[in-house]
Amino acid sequence: MTDAPKVGQIVEHHFLWLAEHAAGQFEGRKPRPCLIIAVEERTGSAPRVTVLPITSQAPRGGTTALAVPRELNARMGLDPKRDGWVVIDEANIFAWPGFDLIPQPGGGFVRASVTAGFFTPVRGAVLAAQPHGRPRRIERDE
């Protein structure tokens, strides 16, 4: 089952960080929750999906990230006792369903969805970061 991707959905993906990519790695070190921020529908081809990573690590200086409200953590499958962050600076792009997606126990790849109230500021942060060359994207299909 390959549920159709939609913005605002959370998937589990072997996210490849830019530092890992620069070091010559081809796959992310571990699967992590990621937020689908864009879906490009293509005629005759699978849709292209852009995901942002979600991490429990507080952002380092110079990193743009939005805090996940604690009440959303459990809904997203995160530890409700830990902080969560959506990193705006880095993105992975792949044809759906990418080879690095983790199937979910109930079938398909979608783990959860965020609320519109949370997605709207994430989208705004991404749009604000674009003139500064962010998020930097890694094409995962190559």
pLDDT digit string, tens, across residues 69-85: 888 888 887 888 888 99
Q: 3 lies in a domain?
A: no
Cβ(87)–Cβ(58) below 8 Å: no
- pLDDT at position 142: 64
H-type alpha helices, the chain: 18-22, 70-73, 116-129
- pTM value > 0.85: yes
Q: 4 lies in a domain?
A: no
Cβ(39)–Cβ(5) below 8 Å: yes
Q: 16 lies in a domain?
A: yes
Return the minimum-mean-pLDDT range out of 29-33, 66-70, 73-77, 98-102.
Answer: 73-77
Q: 30 lies in a domain?
A: yes
- pLDDT at position 61: 85
Closest CA to 39 of 60, 14, 11, 17: 11
The pLDDT of 125-134, averaged and rounded, is 93
Say which residue the tokens 């998020």 belong to.
135
- pLDDT at position 98: 85
Per the DSSP assignment, residues forming a β-bridge with 40 are 48
Number of structural domains (the chain) is: 1
Question: Would the pLDDT of 140 be above 50?
Answer: yes
pLDDT digit string, tens, across residues 44-63: 999 999 999 999 988 888 88
Q: 1 lies in a domain?
A: no
Average pLDDT, the chain: 91
Q: 50 lies in a domain?
A: yes
- pLDDT at position 1: 39
Cβ(49)–Cβ(96) below 8 Å: yes
Q: 2 lies in a domain?
A: no
Share of the chain above pLDDT 90, in %: 70
Q: 101 lies in a domain?
A: yes
Closest CA to 33 of 67, 70, 73: 73
- Structural domain containing residue 42: 9-139
pLDDT digit string, tens, across residues 39-48: 999 999 999 9
More confident residue, 137 or 73: 137
* SS3 label, residue 30: coil
Structure tokens at 133: 């060359």
Q: CA torsion, points 45, 133, 32, 108, in degrees to nearest 10?
A: -20
Per the DSSP assignment, residues forming a β-bridge with 65 are 87
- pLDDT at position 37: 97
